[in-house]
Amino acid sequence: MKSARAVQIPSNDGRDTRRAMKGPRPPNDGGNYIRPSETDLSMKYRFYYTGIRVRNLSRSLAFYTKAIGMKVVNRGTMRHGGKYVQLVGPGSRQRLELNWYPPGTRVYVPYRKGEEMDHFAFVVADVRRAYRELIRKGAKPAVPPEDPEGTEVYVKDPDGIWIELLQ
């Protein structure tokens, strides 16, 4: 298990935004669950981050931190050997996750233009319940809760985009 470390998340209003980060667990970043009134969702979903697939993690990290001014708030190694880095931009809590996957892993595919979008992640109160609910509403199974690698549970939207469910 990784040890906790404080990170500074940029804030426009002068608040102390230091957070303790541990492993891949989503932080309680003060985000609110939004429940659209026009839907009949029994589970609340909080958008957490967008993950993009990168060919060269160092090059992409340098671009997003130096050219865009984003700050690293979390990084790590996945069970299959892939690497991820989560970034936030000034004045935003939304995260961008850079993902690099080594050849031979279950999520690796040869990089082709148009495959940069990797996945979205949502925080939910109950991953198994959210998974069943989304399958009932048209999502396709990707990595079910019964067969996750670590905390990974995924469904696919109607266009095949992967959606990660975090608890």
Question: Is 107 within 8 Å of 119 (Cβ atoms)?
Answer: no
Question: pTM for the full model?
Answer: 0.64
In sequence order, what are the residues at sequence separation of 6 or more whose Cβ sits closer than 8 angstroms to the Cβ of residue 116? 52, 53, 54
pLDDT value, residue 42: 73
> Would you list the domain boundaries of the chain?
1-19+45-118, 124-167
In sequence order, what are the residues at sequence separation of 6 or more whose Cβ sits closer than 8 angstroms to the Cβ of residue 107? 80, 82, 101
Residue 101, strand partner residues: none
| Model pLDDT for residues 8-40, shown as the tens digit of each residue | 444 334 444 333 333 445 555 555 544 545 556
In sequence order, what are the residues at sequence separation of 6 or more whose Cβ sits closer than 8 angstroms to the Cβ of residue 20? 4, 5, 6, 27
Residue 143, strand partner residues: 154
Candidates 3.40.50.720, 3.40.47.10, 1.20.1260.10, 3.10.180.10; correct CATH number of 1-19+45-118? 3.10.180.10
Average pLDDT, the chain: 77
Question: Is 53 within 8 Å of 108 (Cβ atoms)?
Answer: no
The percent of residues above 70 in pLDDT, for the chain, comes to 72
Question: Is 96 within 8 Å of 50 (Cβ atoms)?
Answer: yes
What's the gap between Cα 153 and its chain centre? 11
57-78 residues labelled b (16+ CB within 10 A) or e (exposed): beebbeebeeeeebeebbbeeb
| Model pLDDT for residues 33-86, shown as the tens digit of each residue | 445 455 566 778 888 899 999 989 999 999 899 988 899 999 999 988 999 999
